[in-house]
Amino acid sequence: MMDYFKIYPQAIYLYPDAPRQLTGLLHYQLEQYGCFYKSRTCSVSLVKDESLGGKWSIVAEEFEAGNSTFTGFMEALNYYMIGVLGVDPFEEIERGQKASVNVHFNDVLFDVESRQIVKIPKAKSKSRLSA
């Protein structure tokens, strides 16, 4: 795992904005060379494409979207929410269960090398909580 740069997703908050679209905020933290140096918030939208069987994807609305590492992070986050967590924000809102969807990411980080969301190693997880 590359140790010089990591992205730690913290939470995503989404609410209906337009038909087939949710809008919200993604909170994440950046680590560079072992030091947490920035907590960030990025505007995002989830767009549902009916022509692709209702598949949705998270789209960053800010400058980070042009950064190749951040683009990989967003792709990994899409997969993690759908494939690992099994979260479908549109389904939850359409069933009338919720007016908004909040997803918290616990003890995971974006590994730049594998381009996947992975569990934080135990030693890192404990030291991060005390920081």
Tens-digit pLDDT profile for residues 61-101 = 776 545 778 888 999 999 999 999 999 898 888 887 678 99
Distance CA 88, CA 101 (A): 9
Mean pLDDT of the chain: 83
Q: CB within 8 A of 105, min separation 6: which ones?
A: 8, 9, 10, 11, 12, 80, 117
- Closest to 87 measured CA to CA, from 28, 31, 46: 46
Q: CB within 8 A of 93, min separation 6: which ones?
A: 16, 22, 99, 100, 101
